[in-house]
Amino acid sequence: MTTQTATAEKTAAKTAGKTTEKTGARTDEAAALIGDARERIDALDDRIIGLIQERMAVSAVIQEARISSGGRRVNLNREMEVLGHYRDALGKPGTAIAMTMLELCRGRI
């Protein structure tokens, strides 16, 4: 084995080790797939955050209109509908997601 070949093999092993270490994968192919999927998840998370922020703004408009007309800031019947919708779509964890989202949307006035 030449020195150049040995150096190339060491570099490849180090690169593969870093790639698989970062992703938890055991092969370069799996590491590449995981890396691509993580990029997609990051993009989805950004979209979800944007939608939640949009929902918060719409909720603030509703709350302001309700308060201005002499009503209460929160409509518990509507919140129960939202909780049910998330539970039906996502199961029990959906309820926890909806609770967190409702909490985020309540406090902006």
pLDDT of residue 108: 53
Domain covering 13-106, topology = Chorismate Mutase Domain, subunit A (1.20.59)
Helices (H), 1-109: 3-23, 28-68, 76-90, 92-106
Please state the domain extents for the chain.
Answer: 13-106
**DSSP codes joined into one string, 24-50:** T-SSHHHHHHHHHHHHHHHHHHHHHHH
**In this structure, what token pair is assigned to residue 13?**
């092993």
Q: What is the pLDDT along the chain (109 residues), one digit of tens a residue?
A: 566 655 555 555 555 555 678 899 999 999 999 999 999 999 999 999 999 999 999 999 999 999 999 999 999 999 999 999 999 999 999 999 999 999 999 975 4
The pTM assigned to this predicted structure is: 0.75
Confidence (pLDDT) at 21: 82
What integer pLDDT is reported at residue 75 of this predicted model? 95
Asked if 20 and 27 count as a contact pair (C-beta separation under 8 A), the reply is yes
pLDDT score at 56: 96
